[in-house]
Structure 1
Amino acid sequence: MTHLAPGAPALTPLSRFCLIAGPALIAGYGIIRLLSDSGTPGPGWTAGHLALFCGLALFGPVFLGLRRLAPAGSPVRRRVAAVSSVVALAGLAASLAQAAIDLVVGFRAADGPEMSDLFEQVQSHAAVHLVVYSAGPLLFYAGLVALVAALVSRRGPVTGWTLAAILLGIVVMGVSLDLMPVGGMLFLQALAFVGRTDRARVADAQPVRGAGQYG
């Protein structure tokens, strides 16, 4: 008969990969942005925004994976995690739309002034500006913070350090886009720790073979 130790595995291999790759690509976008001419179409703009789009897309499995970590014995936490993940996914959709628009504008514009004109045309629509450029992307961060906060416990895998690093990363990126590499690395430190801790839980939960009913 087999026995599983407490703390059965919750994160899928895809979620663990995305916990690292998503923030790393966002940090990569920030680095490319610093090394290229910001606001000018070209290889730097395209490469940076492709990294941003892919990095954001990988947060879909991150949100779903974190939601699965909600403790089964706490209905309130599970409800908060469920609602927060929906909010975060809505913000993710808005953020992806913004990155996609940036890519399209970069492909269509011949130079910086034309790029500015195209952005003005897009953002002149009130609904687009609200959903894609102002309120929408904020849901990404609000949902992420609420989701992580609902999972914090002293025994992990989501700890107070995870929440603190996420909050600091959001503040840093909000101060200046030039600090995107720092914010992305803070996200990486916070979320990669969740992945490492979850792998430890998987190891602890491996079946003990040959044990009887009473061990």
Structure 2
Amino acid sequence: MNLRAAFVAAPLLVLGYGVLRILDGLDGSRGPGPAWTLGHLSFLAALALFIPILLRMRRTAGAGGLTTAATVVSLVGVAALVAQFTVDIVGGFLSADHAELSRFFAEVKGLPVVPLAIYDVGPYLFYLGQIVLIGQLAAQRRVKGWTVALYVAYLVTPAISKDLIPVSAILLLAAFLPISAAIARTPTPAPAPART
């Protein structure tokens, strides 16, 4: 998959997660079951696409100290989210019903450092790093300021209600399209010549 396609596919996979999450909750509880598993797999696939997206945003914004730090912070957030969604998938496979899944989560969250690393702090690093990277692109006038506003709206919308994740994903897509266009306009630096 080329990088421009990843800027479209990642938000669409987040959209898939949001829709499956809503479908999963129609019976009054979420997980375990096919919608739970497929939704989480969809989000994991999106996270895999975010890795090259983050690296290319860093390269386009300039590989300085701030953009490098923001990229590292965001990649740490990716790792935290991968851990969280993997725990969710494993819990879904090991649990016969929602009550059992809830007990599984209580046991996981009772482990030292786990809540901090993969629930309370770690995942937010993913979004924080991206705000800095997109802010850098806007500061360099590679994208318009409203691109940052769209990204912030993408972050805020699920805080209102997680059922708005599909709307949030559309906002992410709207933010990513001008970023991918800006990246396409930016020439890729040539590799340094090999020393002989």
Please list, as runs of the form range in 1=range in 2, the aligned pairs for 1:197-212 lying within 5 A after superposition: 197-199=182-184, 201=185
Pair 1:116-2:107 in alignment: no
**Cα offset, 1:155, TM superposition:** 4.2
Matched, 1:192 2:184: no
1:27 Cα deviation (Å)? 1.2
The separation in 2 between residues aligned to 1:163 and 1:29, in whole angstroms, is 23
Higher relative contact order (CA 8 A, sep 6+): 1
Report what 1:161 is aligned to.
146
Q: What's the counterpart of residue 75 of structure 1?
A: none
Paired position in structure 2 for 1:176? 161
Q: 4+ residue runs of structure 1 moved beyond 4 angstroms?
A: none
Aligned length, in residue pairs: 184
Q: 1:129 matched to which residue of 2?
A: 115
Q: Which amino acid aligns with 2:44?
A: F
CA RMSD in angstroms, aligned pairs only: 1.7
Tell whether the 8 Å contact from 2:61 to 2:133 is kept in structure 1 after alignment. no
Query: The residue matched to 1:126 in structure 2 has which SS?
Result: coil
2:178 partner letter: F
Check if 1:147 corresponds to 2:170. no
Deviation at 1:174, TM superposition (A): 2.1
Q: CA 1:145–1:113 in structure 2 vs 1: closer, same or farther (change >3 Å)?
A: same
**Percent identity among equivalent residues?**
40
Task: Tell me the equivalent position of 1:40.
Answer: 31
Q: Cα offset for 1:153?
A: 4.1
- TM (norm. structure 2) is 0.87
Q: Which residue of 2 aligns with 1:27?
A: 15
- Which amino acid in the other structure matches residue 79 of structure 1? G
Quote how far apart the aligned CAs of 1:154 are. 6.8
Change (3 A) 1:135 1:155: closer
Say whether residues 1:63 and 2:68 are aligned partners. Answer: no
Query: 1:17: how far off?
Result: 2.1
Verify the 8 A CA contact 1:92 1:137 in the aligned structure 2. Answer: yes
Q: Which amino acid aligns with 1:16?
A: R
Higher fraction of helix: 2
1: CA distance, partners of 2:138 / 2:14: 24
1:185: how far off?
1.1
Q: Which has the larger radius of gyration?
A: 1
Q: How far is 1:175 from its partner? A: 2.2
